[in-house]
Structure 1
Amino acid sequence: MPTIKSSYLGNLRTESEHLQSGTQLYTDAPLDNNGKGEKFSPTDLVASALGSCMVTIMGIVANRDSVSLDGLSWEVTKIMQSSPRKISEIIVEFHWENPVEDEAMLQKLKNAAKTCPVALSLDSEIKQTLRFNF
């Protein structure tokens, strides 16, 4: 059974629906590739998925160990190469206002981030740079 149903809307835009929840998202080609840049581009979604996946796995570990991730945020920077046009690097920078003081737990969370399914699924040619500001 499919997970996502998508359609082309014209003008370099797509619509996708997550079938289980009914949630919809739209993509647009970026300005530097003939689009309007008014929505996430498909490669933006890949970069966003990496950060979100990392934090989700960190959250599973934190929940299991009764640790709160309140105040955790992150920024993602996607770097494209031009020929061939593809993602060359994704930088994920984490910020945590009030991190736990247990160094072993911090290392466990960092390790969890590095082993999320998206991180493990991306081509090894895509450099994954992680900055943990905690």
Structure 2
Amino acid sequence: MSTATAQYSGNLRTESVHTASGTTIFTDAPVDNHGRGESFSPTDLVCAALGTCMMTIMGIVAERHQLDLTGVSFEVTKHMAAEPRRIIQIDVNFRLPAALSAKDRTLLENAARTCPVALSLNPEIRQEVQFAYGE
């Protein structure tokens, strides 16, 4: 069974459907590349995938160690090169609870940095990941 199906909708937009769940994701070309920027661009999804993969793997590790990560968040920033047009850097900034011990922080940070998306991206794409602890 396929992972997803997609269709070009015209006007630089696509509609992708996750086969197992039926969830739909739309993409739009960014304003700086002839689009309207009304949805995630494909490169935005790559960046969001990195952050959400890191967060998911941290969540798996947290459950294993009875840690509550409810409310943990991140902000992701994409940096593009012009020629050829490509992602050159992804910044991911996590906000986590201050109460986590030094040991738990190390455990979670290592889990994030070794998530499947992080390990799958081209090594030429710099991944700048920061972890801030506090309320």
TM range (shorter): over 0.9
Distance in 2 (alpha carbons) for counterparts of 1:128 and 1:100: 26
Distance in 1 (alpha carbons) for counterparts of 2:42 and 2:98: 32
Write out aligned runs for 1:1-134 (5 A): 1-96=1-96, 98-134=97-133
Shift of 1:11: 0.5
Letter paired with 2:124: E
Distance in 2 (alpha carbons) for counterparts of 1:100 and 1:112: 18
Contact 1:69 1:99 in 2 (8 A): no
Shift of 1:101: 3.2
Instruction: Give unmatched runs, 5+ long, in structure 1.
Output: none
Letter paired with 2:3: T
Runs of 4+ off more than 3 Å: none
The TM-score, its normalising length taken from structure 2, stands at 0.96
Shift of 1:70: 1.8
Percent identity between matched residues is: 55
Q: Give the total of aligned pairs.
A: 133
Distance in 1 (alpha carbons) for counterparts of 2:110 and 2:31: 36
- SS at 2:52's partner residue? helix
Shift of 1:102: 1.4
